[in-house]
Amino acid sequence: MQLERLPSGGAAFDVCRLPGLTPYAAGWDLQRELVKLRRRDEIADTLILCEHPPVYTVGRAAKNASNLGAGEEYLRSLGAEVFWSDRGGDATFHGPGQVVGYPILRLKKLDTHKYLRDLEELLILILSDYGIEAGRHPAYTGVWVEGSKIAAIGVKFSSGRITSHGFALNVRTDLSWFDRITPCGIKEYGVTSLERELGAGVTLSEVEERVVVRFGELFG
């Protein structure tokens, strides 16, 4: 694992860019290891950026598997993995064409509400860089464009005020994967992507660069 150190307003954080498609289990294991290291102050605050092969994950808010549509066996038959995760939130999809960010941060104060709003602000600012007016929904965590969800957020707070898990921004994701589930347990709204909203292609590497810049402004 190679960490890229970035200066940010006199402070510094690390960016860990994982090449190719990172299996969800490998990304999860990496997060757990970095949480331990951050708790012992053996690493700086770190932002993991990656892209996963098709995978459905279910967070702690899920009471059962009802939001997994036809069920785990069917979803696996489509070529996707299924994981029950220790993050917050309900069921969602990760896959190619999506920028996934896992901030491993030591918060100065454990304010869960503020941290979630800060992650939303991060994504809203990134989308504004592309001329897209995005915002929040009063009832649901995440980032929205005209009634469609473009980014999902699910996090975990560990002892020592250390964060893990994070956000998933649909850039050029095949949105049909979401049709098989009830994303985040929300039935009344759909999902969208940066590519759909722009009506043009955009590269993940370009979006990742914007993530790093905006992350530095908010969390650096």
Task: Name the catalytic one among 34, 184, 211, 212.
Answer: 184
Produce one character per residue of 16-45: b if its CB has 16 or more CB atoms within 10 Å, e if not.
Answer: bebeeebebeebbebbeebbeebbeeebbb
Sign of the alpha-carbon dihedral angle for 166, 25, 68, 65: negative
User: Within 10 Å of residue 173's Cβ, how many Cβ atoms?
Assistant: 25
> In this structure, are residues 57 and 24 in contact, taking their beta carbons and an 8 Å threshold?
yes
> In this structure, are residues 21 and 51 in contact, taking their beta carbons and an 8 Å threshold?
yes
Token digits for 161?
Answer: 């005020």
Tallying the residues shown for the chain, one arrives at 220
* Whether 184 is catalytic: yes
**CA dihedral of residues 161, 170, 186, 77 (deg, nearest 10):** -100
> In this structure, are residues 48 and 34 in contact, taking their beta carbons and an 8 Å threshold?
yes
Query: Which residues are known catalytic residues?
Result: 184
